Amino acid sequence: MKENGEIRIGFYICHCGVNIASVIDVERIAAYAATLPGVVVSRHYKYMCSDPGQELLGSDIREHKLNRIVVAACSPLLHEHTFRKATENAGLNPYFMHMVNIREHGSWVHEDKELATGKAQDMIRAAIRRVRFHEPLEKKRVPVLQDVLVIGGGIAGIHASLTLANAGKHVILVEREPTIGGHMAQFDKTFPTLDCAACILTPKMTSVKDHPNITLWSYSEVVKIDGSVGNYTVTVKRKPRYVNEELCVGCMECIEACIYKEGKWPDEFNVGLSKRKPIYIPFPQAVPPVPVIDPEHCVHVKTGKCRDTCVAICGDRNAIDFTQKETLTDIKVGAIVVATGFDIFDATQIPYYGYGKYRNVYTALEAERLINASGPTGGELLLPDGHKPESIAIVHCVGSRDVHYNRWCSRVCCMYSLKLAHLIKERTGAEIYNFYIDMRAPGKSMEEFYNRVSEEGVHLIRGRVADITPQALPEGSDQGGYLGKLVVQAEDTLIGRVRKIPVDMVILAVGLVPQKDAEEVRRMLNISCSTGGFFLERHPKLAPVNTFTDGIFLAGACQGPKDIPDSVAQAGAAAAEALALIDAGSVEIEPNTAYIIEEDCSGCKSCIPLCPYTAISFDEAKKKAVINEALCKGCGTCVAACPSGSIRQHLFEDEEIFSEIDGLLTYA
Amino acid sequence: MLATEEAVEQMWGVTLDKLYDSEEGRRILSCIQCGTCVGTCPHGEYMDYPPRRIITMLKAGLIDEVLASDSMVMCVNCYACQTKCPRNIRLTEILLPIVKEQSLLQLETMPAELQKAIENTFRYGNYMGESARKRTQWTKTSKIPVRILSEDPRPVDALWLVESDLSYHPRGQDVARATVQIFDAIGADFAILGNEERSAGDCGRLSWEPGLSETLIDYTLSILKKYTYNRIIVSDPHALDALNFRYPMFGFSDTVEATVSFVHRHLDMLRPRLTKTLKYRVTYHDSCCLGRHNKLYDEPRELLLAIPGIELREMVHTRENSICCGGGGGGMWLDTYYKAKGMERLSDRRLREALATGADVLAIACPYELSRFEDAVKVAGAENRIVVRDIMELLVESFGDN
C-alpha cells in the first residue's frame, strides 16, 4: 500500500479539563509530536470536543493543507464521531482522522505522571505512524426492517410495545409465562400514591391484546437470534398451551369442568400460597384470557386416558386442542427491546432469617399476594393457622447491601416495605415494626410517603435484623411448621440497645436479582452484563437504554433494580430509541469491513464457517469466497484465519497495524 | 472464611495505629453501622461498647474511652459478628483482639480466674497448672498403645496434637482414649508429642496475651521441627484455629486437619465397625472455631449419622447461626466475672435449646464444651434427661466388638 502522496499530519491533544492534563503533560506531548515525521501542526487544547476545538481542527486542515489528523483524547466511543465529522466538514475524508484514547487508557488509570506521559507519548507515536496508511473510505447504508421484537411482557415490555405500536410499528411481544403483566400484576397497591396495581395495569394489558399493531405471543420464548442491527432473524419457541387462542372465548368453563375438583399444585401467580388445577388461568384479568394446560399434571397429556370433561364442556367451540405441539417460528425484525425483568432474592440463603423453616416468615411478594383481594385469602392477611396477626416485623435489605449475597441496594425495598407497613396497618390494625439500615426514599413523593407512614405510627427501628428465633423453644426436633411468636432481634442503633421484639409474622423485604437465566439470554443477545448480572447499558448516564450491540435496547429491571415509574420511563426511552433507528429507514455501517483480494483467494472455504455473521458465501462459478459487506461487522476473524492472506480489512490493513506496532516499540 | 495468604500477611502485627494500612483493615471504614454485629453478639446487650460502637468511636478518635471500658472482656471470640457482617469486616480476627488486649491492660483488677489460667499456661504449658510429666498419663489406660514421638521418633503419617483438655481433664481423657480407638479402627499411622507438648497457644484465649501466645507458638514450632510427619491432626478446635490462622504468620505451612474431618475422610473404613445400634436422639452443638471459622458443619453430622439408630435433631441456633458455649476468648475463666455483671452463662442458655429438641444426647466436638455443658446439665438438674458426649465417644460406643 502506498502512502498517497505527501503526508501532512495535524496532531491535537486534549486536556479534557483536568481529566487528562492533571496526569499527562500535554504541552510536552504536543512539543514531542511536532518533532515526528510528517507532523505539520501539533497543538494542545482545553476541550477539543468543544465548538472552538473542532473549528481549530477544521481551520488547520484548510490553512495547512493537512491530509491526516490524530486526536489524542477520550474514548473513540464518545467522540470519534465528533472528530470525523469535523474532519469531513473541512473537506477531508473522515477516515483520515484517527483517535488515541489517553484518558480511559491513560490518565484515568494511572497515578504516576511521568510514566503516564511516557505511555501517552508511545501511543501517539504509534498513531502518527499508522495514520500515514489510512485511505479514504465511504460509509454504506443498509435498509432497516420495520418490525420490532419486545422480549418480556411485564410493565416495561407492555409500555414499550404500546409506544411502538402507537407510532405505527408492528411489534411482536414475546412473553414466557401464560399471561403478560409480570411482577406488577402480583402487587397489591403501588407506592407512593397507593393506586391499585391491577387497576392501572390491566387497562394497558387489554390495550396490548386489542392493539392491531401488536402480535402477542405468550407462553413463548426467544431461543435464537441471528443477524445484526436493522436485520435480525429471531427464532421463537411457542409452547403448546393446548387451548386454541383463536377459538377460546375465555369463559373458563373448562377449568370448572376439570376432573380435578380442587386445585392440587402450587399456583405460580400466588407464589405457591394457593393451589391450582392442571388447567388454569393465572389470574382473572390475564392476557390473553385463555386457560393453559400444564402438561406435567394434565391426565390427558400424561396418559391419554381422561374423561376429557374440559373438551366436552367446550363443545362446538373446540378450543381444547391436545394435538398442539411445540413450534419454532422465525421472525425478522429491525430492532429488539429487552424487558426480561428481575427475580427476587432467595431468602433461604440467609439461614438466620428462618425463611422456609418457620411458616410465619414470608417474603414481601408473598405478603403482596396475601393482602391482595384476588390472592389466596381474598385479601385478608391471615397466619397459616387462620389467626389474624397482631404484630408484624418487616425486615429491610434482605439479601441486599451485603457482600455475602448481593452488594447492591435493591432500590425499591424501603418504599415497598413502607407501603406494606401502611396497607397492613390499615387493614389489620397490627403493630408494625420496620427494621431498616438506612431509609432510602429518593424520587418524587417518596420522602413525603415516608413521612406519612411514620406519622401513622409504624415503628421504625434503625438496625439490621441479626436473628429470628421462636419465642418459646419448639419441642421436638422439627422446627418446620413452628407457628408461635417469633422474636426478632436487632440492635436499635439509635438508642444503642439490643431489642428483641416478639411478633406473629415476619415479612422479609427481599431484594431484586437478575433472572435465573439472565446469563444465557445475555449470550444469546450478544450483550454485556454488569458485575451483579444485570444487563449492561452502553453508557450509565448518556446511553442508559442502549446496549453495546446496535439495535438492542434495554427496558426495566433487567438492567438493574428499579421501580414502576422508572421502568415505564425507561421503556418509553427504549421504544423511542428503537423508533429513531427504524424510522431512519436505513442504517449506516462502518466501512471497517473485510474484503477479498480475489486473485489470491484459493477457494479453500476455511473462512466461511468461521464468520459469526454468516457474511461470507462461496461463488461456485469463480471458486472464490465472497463477503457481503452489509452483513460484515468487521470482527477480523476471517482476516486472521485466511491461509493465503487474501482477506484484508479496511481500517485494519496490515500496514496500518504493523506501523502502529513499530511506533509503540520504537522508543523515543 | 479461611484466611488467604494475603489476608494472613495483612493481619500480621497489626496495631491500632496501623489498622488502615492493610486492605483487610481498611474494610472497617466501610462499616454501615447496621448493628448486625451487636444484634447477633451473645453478650452484645451487656456491652457499653459493642463492635458497632467500637468502629464509630474509632472513626471519631474516641477509642480511648472504649479501651477504658470492660466491654471487650465480654467478647467470647465466637466469630458471630464477623460471620454476619454485611461488609465482611474482620471483627473477630483483627479489630476486636487489638481492643481486647488494650482494654485488659486498663482493667482495674484482672479477673482472678483468667489471671491464674494465663499464669498456668505460661508456667506449665497448660491452663490447669498440671505438671508436664503427667501429660501422657492417660495413655496408660488406653486400650490401644499410643506412640510417643520423644520416645520413638520414627517418621509418622499423622502427628496428633492432643492439647491440654484431652490430656488432663478426666472427661477429656475419655475422649482422648476414644479418639485413639477410632484412629486404630481406620488404620491411622499416628503418634503424639507426649510430655514435650504444650498448649498450642490458642487464638481466642491468647488474644489477651499475644506475648504468651508467641512464646508458645515458637516453642511448639521448635518441637515440631524435630519430627517428620505428613499432617497434623488437632482435636481442639481452638488449637486448629491457632494453627490455621496464627501459625502461618510464623512461617508455618504444614497440612492441618481437625480430628472430625480426618476421621470423616476415612469414614468408609470406620463404617464396618459401627454395628451397635444406639437408639439416641442426638443434637449437635456447632463449636465456633470448628463451625463458623473453619466451616466444618457437615462432617461432624455425617459422622453421627453413620452410627446406626441415631436420630439427629437440630437446635434453634445451628450451623453458622450456632451460639457460643461461652468458653471461647477467655470466657472459660470469666464465669465469675460475668456472673457479677448479672450475665447468664451461655452454656446454660444453649443447654435449654438442646433440651427443647427432646434429645437425650448433646454431641460435641470441642473439649471446652465437655466441662461447660456437663456443668450446665448439673445446674439445670437435667442429669436424667441429657448427657454430653464427644462424637468420638459415640462412635466408639457403636463398635459392636467393643
Regarding whether B261 and B117 lie in a shared domain, the answer is yes
- Model confidence at B9, in pLDDT bands (50, 70, 90)? low
The answer as to whether B242 is a domain residue is yes
Contact by Cβ (8 Å): A619, A639: no
Average pLDDT over residues B148-174: 96
- According to DSSP, residue A473 is labeled P
Regarding whether B273 and B261 lie in a shared domain, the answer is no
Residue B1 predicted with pLDDT over 50 = no
Cβ of B356 within 8 Å of Cβ of A438? The answer is no
Place of cell 504468620: B249
A19 CB neighbour count, 10 Å cutoff = 18
> Which residue type does A51 have?
D
Say yes or no: do domains A9-137 and A140-239+326-341+515-587 share a fold.
Answer: no
User: Per mean pLDDT, which range of A480-489, A490-499, B117-126 is the poorest?
Assistant: A480-489
Average pLDDT over residues A581-604: 93
> Which residue type does B119 have?
E
Q: How far apart are the first and last CA of chain A?
A: 26
Residue A4 predicted with pLDDT over 60 = no
- Model confidence at A143, in pLDDT bands (50, 70, 90)? very high
User: Given this model, what pLDDT does residue B22 score?
Assistant: 83
Regarding whether B278 and B236 lie in a shared domain, the answer is no
DSSP assignments along B69-86, one per residue: SSGGGG-----HHHHH-T
Residue B57 predicted with pLDDT over 90 = yes
The answer as to whether B72 is a domain residue is yes
The answer as to whether B167 is a domain residue is yes
Q: Measure the CA–CA gap between B382 and B360, rounded to whole angstroms.
A: 10
User: How would you classify the pairing of strands A505-510 and A391-398?
Assistant: parallel
Chain B (310-329) residues lying within 8 Å, Cβ to Cβ, of chain A: 311-314, 316-321
Query: B297-328: buried (b, 16+ CB within 10 Å) or exposed (e) per residue?
Result: bebbbebbebbeebbbbbbbbbbbbbbbbbbb
Residue of A404, A438, A498 lying closest to B45 (CB–CB):
A498
Residue B398 predicted with pLDDT over 90 = yes
- Model confidence at A477, in pLDDT bands (50, 70, 90)? low
Distance, in angstroms, between A408 CA and closest chain B CA? 11
- Model confidence at B2, in pLDDT bands (50, 70, 90)? very low
Q: Measure the CA–CA gap between A269 and B81, rounded to whole angstroms.
A: 38
Q: In 3D, which of A150, A212, A140 has the Cα closest to residue A176?
A: A150
Residue A26 predicted with pLDDT over 80 = yes
Q: What is the CATH number of the domain that holds B75?
A: 1.10.1060
Could you give the angle at the alpha carbon of A493 between the alpha carbons of A490 and A497, nearest 5°?
65
Q: Measure the CA–CA gap between A128 and A136, rounded to whole angstroms.
A: 17
Q: Measure the CA–CA gap between A417 and A506, rounded to whole angstroms.
A: 12
- Model confidence at A83, in pLDDT bands (50, 70, 90)? very high
Q: For the domain A140-239+326-341+515-587, what is the CATH code?
A: 3.50.50.60
Residue B186 predicted with pLDDT over 50 = yes
Residue A668 predicted with pLDDT over 90 = no
Domain spanning A9-137: CATH 3.40.50: yes
Average pLDDT over residues B215-233: 96
- pLDDT tens digits, one per residue of A519-532: 999 999 989 999 89
Residue of A462, A470, A498 lying closest to B44 (CB–CB):
A498
Averaged confidence pLDDT in chain A: 95
Q: Measure the CA–CA gap between B379 and B110, rounded to whole angstroms.
A: 26
Peptide linkage before A288 cis (omega within 30 of 0): yes
Cβ of B39 within 8 Å of Cβ of A352? The answer is no
Q: Measure the CA–CA gap between A444 and A467, rounded to whole angstroms.
A: 34
User: Given this model, what pLDDT does residue B93 score?
Assistant: 87
Q: Measure the CA–CA gap between A474 and A358, rounded to whole angstroms.
A: 11
Question: Closest residue of A to B314, CA-based?
Answer: A477
Peptide linkage before A514 cis (omega within 30 of 0): no
**CA-based torsion, A86, A90, A95, A96: positive or negative:** negative
User: Given this model, what pLDDT does residue B207 score?
Assistant: 64
- In chain A, the percentage of residues whose pLDDT exceeds 90 is 91
Regarding whether B161 and B116 lie in a shared domain, the answer is yes
Measured in whole angstroms, the distance separating CA B323 from the mean position of its chain's CA atoms is 13
Regarding whether B303 and B256 lie in a shared domain, the answer is no
Residue of B38, B87, B281 lying closest to A491 (CB–CB):
B38
Q: Measure the CA–CA gap between B74 and B96, rounded to whole angstroms.
A: 11
Cβ of B283 within 8 Å of Cβ of A490? The answer is no
Residue A1 predicted with pLDDT over 70 = no
Q: Measure the CA–CA gap between A3 and A355, rounded to whole angstroms.
A: 71
> Which residue type does B191 have?
A
Residue A640 predicted with pLDDT over 90 = yes
The CATH fold of domain A590-650: Alpha-Beta Plaits (3.30.70)
The answer as to whether B84 is a domain residue is yes
Could you give the angle at the alpha carbon of B357 between the alpha carbons of B355 and B358, nearest 5°?
70
- Model confidence at A480, in pLDDT bands (50, 70, 90)? low
Q: In 3D, which of B80, B119, B75 has the Cα closest to residue B334?
A: B75
User: Given this model, what pLDDT does residue B5 score?
Assistant: 58
- pLDDT tens digits, one per residue of A219-260: 999 999 988 899 999 999 999 999 999 999 999 999 999 999
Regarding whether B225 and B338 lie in a shared domain, the answer is no
Average pLDDT over residues B204-216: 79
B343 CB neighbour count, 10 Å cutoff = 17
Q: The pTM is what?
A: 0.89
List of E strands, B83-228:
156-161, 190-192
Distance, in angstroms, between B320 CA and closest chain A CA? 8
User: How would you classify the pairing of strands A189-190 and A195-196?
Assistant: antiparallel
Residue where a domain terminates, one of B84, B106, B128: B106
Q: In 3D, which of A366, A242, A237, A218 has the Cα closest to residue A296?
A: A242
Q: Does B44 touch chain A (CB under 8 A)?
A: yes
The answer as to whether B402 is a domain residue is no
Q: Tell me whether residue A618 is exposed, middle or buried, using C-beta atoms within 10 angstroms of its C-beta: 0 to 12, 13 to 18, 19 or more.
A: middle
Cβ of B44 within 8 Å of Cβ of A491? The answer is yes
Tell me which of 3.50.50.60, 3.40.50.150, 3.40.470.10, 1.10.760.10 is the CATH number of domain A347-513: 3.50.50.60
Average pLDDT over residues A360-376: 96
Residue A69, H or E segment: strand A68-73
3-state secondary structure B2-27: CCCHHHHHHHCCCCHHHHHHCHHHHH
Residue where a domain terminates, one of B265, B293, B319: B265
Q: In 3D, which of B393, B339, B321, B338 has the Cα closest to residue B361?
A: B393
How many angstroms separate the Cα of A376 from the Cα of each of A272, A382, A424, B312? 9, 10, 16, 36
Regarding whether B10 and B139 lie in a shared domain, the answer is no
- pLDDT tens digits, one per residue of B320-354: 999 999 999 899 999 999 999 999 999 999 999 99
User: Given this model, what pLDDT does residue A110 score?
Assistant: 96
Residue B204 predicted with pLDDT over 70 = no
The answer as to whether B25 is a domain residue is yes
Distance, in angstroms, between A356 CA and closest chain B CA? 14
Question: Closest residue of B to A398, CA-based?
Answer: B86
The answer as to whether B207 is a domain residue is yes
Q: Tell me which of B204 and A513 has the higher pLDDT.
A: A513
Average pLDDT over residues A606-620: 90
Cell numbers describing residue A152:
418480556
Average pLDDT over residues A395-424: 98
Place of cell 496526569: A23
In which domain, by residue range, is B59 found?
5-106
User: Given this model, what pLDDT does residue A228 score?
Assistant: 85
Average pLDDT over residues A640-665: 94
- pLDDT tens digits, one per residue of B61-115: 999 999 999 999 999 999 999 999 999 999 998 899 889 988 988 998 889 999 9
> Which residues fall within 8 angstroms of residue A236, CB to CB, at 6 or more apart?
A172, A174, A217, A220, A221, A222, A223, A328, A329, A330, A331
- Model confidence at B206, in pLDDT bands (50, 70, 90)? low
Contact by Cβ (8 Å): A448, A428: no
B123 CB neighbour count, 10 Å cutoff = 10
Q: Measure the CA–CA gap between B214 and B220, rounded to whole angstroms.
A: 10
Q: Measure the CA–CA gap between A420 and A427, rounded to whole angstroms.
A: 10
- pLDDT tens digits, one per residue of A193-222: 999 999 999 999 999 999 999 999 999 999
- In chain A, the percentage of residues whose pLDDT exceeds 70 is 98
Q: Measure the CA–CA gap between B209 and A458, rounded to whole angstroms.
A: 48
DSSP assignments along A142-172, one per residue: EE--S-EEEE--SHHHHHHHHHHHHTT--EE
Q: Indicate the SS3 state at residue B277.
A: coil
Averaged confidence pLDDT in chain B: 93
Q: How far apart are the first and last CA of chain B?
A: 39
User: Per mean pLDDT, which range of A147-161, A509-523, A611-625, B171-185 is the poorest?
Assistant: A611-625
B27 CB neighbour count, 10 Å cutoff = 18
Regarding whether B374 and B278 lie in a shared domain, the answer is yes
Choose the mutation target among A464, A471, A482 for the interface with B, i.e. most B CBs under 10 Å. A464
Q: What is the CATH number of the domain that holds B289?
A: 3.40.50
Cell numbers describing residue A25:
503533560
Residue where a domain terminates, one of B53, B85, B106: B106
Q: Measure the CA–CA gap between A254 and A278, rounded to whole angstroms.
A: 11
Cβ of B35 within 8 Å of Cβ of A490? The answer is yes
Domain count, chain B: 3
The answer as to whether B90 is a domain residue is yes
Regarding whether B260 and B291 lie in a shared domain, the answer is no
Regarding whether B119 and B68 lie in a shared domain, the answer is no
- Model confidence at B15, in pLDDT bands (50, 70, 90)? confident
Q: Which residues of A touch B311 (CB under 8 A)?
A: 477
DSSP assignments along A553-567, one per residue: EE-GGGSS---HHHH
Distance, in angstroms, between A329 CA and closest chain B CA? 47
Beta bridge partners, B261, equal none
User: How would you classify the pairing of strands A189-190 and A140-143?
Assistant: unpaired
Q: In 3D, which of A22, A134, A125 has the Cα closest to residue A651?
A: A134
- Model confidence at A628, in pLDDT bands (50, 70, 90)? confident
Chain A (385-404) residues lying within 8 Å, Cβ to Cβ, of chain B: 397, 401-404
Domains of chain A by residue range: 9-137, 140-239+326-341+515-587, 253-317, 347-513, 590-650
Contact by Cβ (8 Å): A525, A552: yes
Radius of gyration over every alpha carbon of chain A, rounded to an integer in angstroms = 31
Regarding whether B291 and B232 lie in a shared domain, the answer is no
Regarding whether B350 and B290 lie in a shared domain, the answer is yes
